[in-house]
């Protein structure tokens, strides 16, 4: 293995590590759907997005 191989392995490890850190931190903040722009508001129903949450609120009243 050459130096380029080691640099590539380190770069990939850093990217994966940063992604794991981001997900763990988001989960500690209480986000149900990490990556969803409305993660704290959607209550785990990210498949429909924010519009679905608003529709659910209207239907429950």
Residue 3 DSSP symbol: H
CB 39 within 8 A of CB 32: yes
pLDDT at residue 55 tops 60:
no
Q: CA–CA separation, 55 vs 42, rounded Å?
A: 11
pTM of the model: 0.58
Q: CA–CA separation, 45 vs 60, rounded Å?
A: 15
> In angstroms, how far is CA 53 from the centroid of its own chain?
18
pLDDT at residue 52 tops 90:
no
pLDDT tens digits, residue range 23-48? Answer: 999 888 877 777 777 666 666 555 55
pLDDT at residue 21 tops 70:
yes
- Total domain count for the chain? 1
pLDDT tens digits, residue range 6-19? Answer: 999 999 999 999 99
Show the domain range for 46: 3-60
């Amino acid at each position: 293995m050459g130096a380029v191989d080691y640099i590539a392995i380190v770069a990939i490890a850093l990217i994966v590590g940063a992604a794991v850190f981001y997900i763990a931190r988001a989960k500690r903040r209480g986000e149900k759907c990490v990556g969803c722009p409305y993660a704290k508001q959607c209550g785990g129903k990210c498949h429909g997005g924010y519009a679905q949450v608003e529709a659910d609120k209207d239907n429950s009243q």
